[in-house]
Structure formats: C-alpha cells, structure tokens
Amino acid sequence: MLKKRVIVCLDVKDGRTTKGVKFQNNLDIGDPVEMAKKYYEQGVDELVFYDIMASARGERPILDLISRVASQVFIPFCVGGGIGTIEDIRATILAGAEKVSLNSQAVKNPDLISQGASVFGRQCIVLGMDVRRDQSKPSGYGTTINGGRVDTGLDALEWAKKGVALGAGEIVLNSMDADGTKEGYDVELTKLIAQNVAVPVIASGGGGTVEHMAKVLTEGEADAALIATMVHSGQFTIGSIKEQLNKKGVPVRL
C-alpha cells in the first residue's frame, strides 16, 4: 500500500514565513530557512514554499531565498509564486527546487503547464488550485487566483482535468473556505478531484488535528495532507503527527 505523505507549507511574504486565515490578516511567524531545517529534521516528507504575493505584485521567484531553503532540506521541495515563464521554471529548479507549483500563472497561460512538462517532465509540474464553494458552477466549486482575490470563472473540476491533460503531474488542492481555520479539510472537494484525475492530489486548507488529516487521507482519497498552522503553532511535531496517523491505520513513513 502506498504511503501517505505529510507535507509542510511555508507561505512566504517579503522573505518571511507568514500565516493568515483565508489568506487574510497574515502575521510574520519566522524565518523560512530556519523553519524548513526544523521540519526536515523532524521527518517531514516534503516541503512546499509559496511566495503568496509574487503573482499579485507581478514579481518573479526569490531565487536566493529558494536556494538557501534548498540547502537545508534533502527531501522533495516544491516552490510556487510568480513562476510565469519556462525561464522562471528553469531558474527555480536550478536554485534547488524539485517541483514548481503553477497556480495564477497557469490560469493566465495554460500552455505553461504543457511547455513545462515537456521540458522538465510532468513530475516537476504541480497544478496549484485555490478553490471556493460556488453553487453557480457545475461541480459546486470555482477557481480563484492571486491568493483568492480574483475569481477566474473556471469550474474547479474542469480546470483540474484540463491541467492534468496539459501535463500537470500532481495537484495541490487548497480550499479557500477552510484555509487557516483549523476546522478540517474540505473532504468532499478533495474526493471529487481525486476520483476524477489520474495524478496524486494533495489536500490543503483547514488541517487542525490529526483526525482531520486521517479523514482527508482516507475518506477524501488524498495522497498527501498539507499542513501549516498545526506545526507552526508548536502544538504538533511531524513525528507526533506521523505516530498518531500510524495508530489510526494510515500508512505513513515513520
């Protein structure tokens, strides 16, 4: 049975790790390089680094910071934010990332997914999705960009299928309704996408307890659970989370 992954997300703004609720009221919570090193030493499976303002501000990836984070972790490392060209993908990978997450820029230029997959391989291209409940959409969910500030008009399920058809090798599926609330993942959303695409789906947004993680990894059929607040707050370590998941029968790398 395939092991489920525990992934920590570092949302970065102006070079510092930040955390908010539904992408609002963000607080500075530390240095991303030090935090990455700590989570790596605790045994996290992967690390995701998002520059949450880059696309909205029209900025490019912070290559120096990416390189410093990459020097501290020897696990898969995914970077998102401001990656709008093949040159940006190449520079980000050369700075030490194994994968790039394309979100706002992929909506604006879907060809970037297929170009990236053809040059670097689809295992390097992650489709990032910030999704909100929207009853006007066929699936009941719509897609937003620029940190949830812009509604794209795209149905979430259709966009997920299109992104995978274009070459995305994985999806990070963030529920904007649940983001930062610590009240649980959107299991219904995660299951909907996971059952309709043939690539791994990472559940994001709302993780507050190990029970929430276990539920989305089993009922939600997610391949991985992305967490932030749970570990940033110091309430949990990666080791304690994995031990509890293991006791609940969820296969993880101990």
pLDDT in tens, 40-63: 999 999 999 998 777 778 888 899
pLDDT in tens, 99-143: 999 999 999 999 999 999 999 999 999 999 999 999 999 999 999
Instruction: From the candidates 11, 45, 179, 186, give the one annotated as an active-site residue.
Output: 11
pLDDT in tens, 59-85: 888 999 999 999 999 999 999 998 999
Using pLDDT thresholds of 50, 70 and 90, give the confidence band for residue 146.
Answer: confident
DSSP annotation of 4 reads: B
Provide the β-strand partners of residue 144: 130, 151
Pairing outcome for strands 125-133 and 99-102 = parallel
Can 111 be counted among the known catalytic residues? no
pLDDT of residue 89: 98
At CB < 8 A and 24+ separation, what contacts does 215-218 make?
215/184, 215/185, 215/187, 216/184, 216/185, 216/187, 216/190, 217/4, 217/245, 217/250, 218/250
Instruction: From the candidates 130, 179, 186, 223, give the one annotated as an active-site residue.
Output: 130
DSSP annotation of 122 reads: G
CA distances (Å), origin 220, targets 95, 179, 187, 223: 34, 16, 5, 9
pLDDT of residue 213: 98
Can 130 be counted among the known catalytic residues? yes
Output the average pLDDT for the chain: 94
pTM of the model: 0.94
Cβ count within 10 A of residue 142: 21
pLDDT of residue 28: 81
pLDDT in tens, 19-34: 766 556 678 879 999 9
